[in-house]
Structure formats: structure tokens, C-alpha cells
Amino acid sequence: MCKETLQAMADKWPHSIVARTQIGEFTGGLLTPKTMANLDSQKKGPARQVRCGRKVGYLVSDLMDWIAGRTEIISEREAVVAQAGGR
């Protein structure tokens, strides 16, 4: 994703923390709480987590950095080529 899109997503969020249970809402459905839990258990999630009892969340700034490092823009043409099997 481009930085402007990520920043717009962060700017719309009303809090400085995203609860793991709200990760789908925050990312527009790109990530799920289960995916984040799995990535966290493999030490592949955002570097820092916020815990309160059994609840887990992420600082928006950390989450945005992590998402930016894992995403890329695929142009429409590249997506068509990928679907066609690389032809």
C-alpha cells in the first residue's frame, strides 16, 4: 500500500491503539484477529503489543509500520498476468 493510503487509514482510526479483535475493521478486512494471533505466536507480528489481561492490542504507529513493511502495490496489469499464470 502506498504511504498516503496507510496514513489515511490511521487518521480515520479514533484511538491510538487497535485491539486485536478490531484488526479486521481497521484494515478493511485484510487481516483477521486469528491471523494476527498466529503471526504474534511466530514472532512475525508487529514488534510491540499492548496487553491488558487477556486482551491484546497494537499501537497504531507500530501497526502501520508493520503493515507498510508487508504490503506492495500490484498494478492492474501485473494482477492480470499473475492470474493468467505468469504469461
Q: Please write the tens of the pLDDT for every residue from 16-29.
A: 999 999 999 999 89
Chain centroid to Cα 65, Å, comes to 9
| Contact predicate 12/25, CB 8 Å | no
Per-residue pLDDT tens for 49-77?
999 999 999 999 999 999 988 887 777 66
Per the structure block, which three cell numbers stand in for 13?
A: 482510526
Q: Is 65 exposed, middle or buried (0-12, 13-18, 19+ CB in 10 A)?
A: middle
